[in-house]
């Protein structure tokens, strides 16, 4: 089942998501001493990461991965890892960062990152975003990539630029222990209504999700 955490403001949503992430990282570390965390790109999680860096976490025990990456050259302003460097990774003493080498092109990057992902049993926490069409990571409605069962997959013909991307697959995200989504704004109200009705959107094919949303996103 989806679990919904709804707050008045986006700032409250961002703080709550950071608290949830930190709490579940700590739980994971107590259980096995290491935690494998997938992070989203885009602009929405920036404030959440600002709050997360303030947490006193054993950063060297946390392994960071990407849910997807856009096939741009290294350092391109629209790459997800550039946003993460700016808002999280450059502020913590962490060397356990696993980037998707999307500058190699979708096919080769997916193959290379697959070796990294397949070396672990499963992810502990997958933190995702969501688009107005119900896509998550780079898993878009009606895209061929939805049928690819490998752990990391090339994505072509994306409806958003760039057309080529690399993404974790539905299968590997489903296997994670915890999944969370942070999204906000009235533009998301329609798709959230569709999700609650059980429509088979990519985001609704992942299993249970902890949702962090503001009231505007619920249509309230």
State the residue range of the domain holding 52. 22-181
Closest CA to 139 of 151, 126, 118, 155: 155
Q: Per the domain annotation, does 214 fall within a domain?
A: no
The CATH number of the domain holding residue 144 is 3.40.50.1360
Helix ranges restricted to H, the chain:
10-32, 46-52, 80-87, 106-117, 170-174, 189-196
Q: Per the domain annotation, does 80 fall within a domain?
A: yes
Q: Per the domain annotation, does 200 fall within a domain?
A: no
pLDDT of residue 219: 86
Looking at the structure of the chain, the number of domains it has is 1
Buried b (16+ CB within 10 A) or exposed e, 90-123: eebebeebbbbbbbbebeebbbebbebbeeeeeb
Inform me whether the pLDDT recorded for 220 exceeds 80.
no
CB 217 within 8 A of CB 14: no
Dump pLDDT digits (tens) for 38-57: 999 999 999 999 999 999 99
Distance CA 105, CA 219 (A): 39
Dump pLDDT digits (tens) for 142-192: 999 999 999 999 999 999 999 999 999 999 999 999 999 999 999 999 999
Q: Per the domain annotation, does 6 fall within a domain?
A: no
Distance CA 19, CA 7 (A): 14
Query: Is 162 buried (19+), middle (13-18) or exposed (0-12) by CB count in 10 A?
Result: middle
Dump pLDDT digits (tens) for 121-142: 999 999 999 999 999 999 999 9
The percentage of the chain sitting over the pLDDT mark of 70, rounded to a whole number, equals 100
Tokens 């429509």 identify what position? Answer: 199
Dump pLDDT digits (tens) for 104-120: 999 999 999 999 999 99
Q: Per the domain annotation, does 79 fall within a domain?
A: yes
pTM: 0.96
Mean pLDDT of the chain: 96
CB 191 within 8 A of CB 199: no
Q: Per the domain annotation, does 135 fall within a domain?
A: yes
Q: Per the domain annotation, does 16 fall within a domain?
A: no
Q: Per the domain annotation, does 12 fall within a domain?
A: no
pLDDT bracket for residue 1 (50, 70, 90): confident
pLDDT bracket for residue 95 (50, 70, 90): confident
């Amino acid at each position: 089942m989806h679990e919904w955490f709804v707050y008045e403001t986006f700032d409250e949503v961002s703080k709550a998501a950071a608290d949830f992430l930190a709490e579940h990282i700590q739980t994971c570390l107590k259980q096995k001493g290491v935690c494998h965390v997938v992070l989203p790109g885009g602009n929405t999680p920036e404030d959440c990461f600002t709050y997360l860096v303030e947490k006193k976490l054993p950063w060297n025990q946390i392994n960071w991965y990407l849910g997807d990456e856009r096939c741009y050259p290294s350092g391109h302003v629209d790459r997800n890892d550039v946003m993460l460097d700016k808002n999280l990774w450059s502020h913590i003493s962490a060397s356990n960062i696993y980037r998707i080498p999307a500058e190699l092109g979708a096919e080769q990057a997916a193959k290379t990152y697959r070796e990294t992902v397949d070396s672990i049993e499963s992810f502990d926490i997958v933190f995702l975003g969501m688009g107005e069409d119900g896509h998550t990571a780079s898993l878009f409605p009606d895209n061929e990539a939805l049928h690819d069962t490998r752990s990391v997959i090339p994505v072509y013909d994306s409806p958003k630029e760039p057309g080529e991307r690399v993404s974790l697959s539905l299968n590997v995200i489903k296997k994670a222990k915890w999944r969370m989504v942070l999204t906000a704004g009235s533009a998301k109200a329609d798709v959230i209504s569709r999700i609650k009705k059980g429509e088979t959107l990519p985001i609704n094919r992942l299993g249970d999700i902890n949702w962090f949303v503001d009231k505007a996103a619920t249509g309230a």
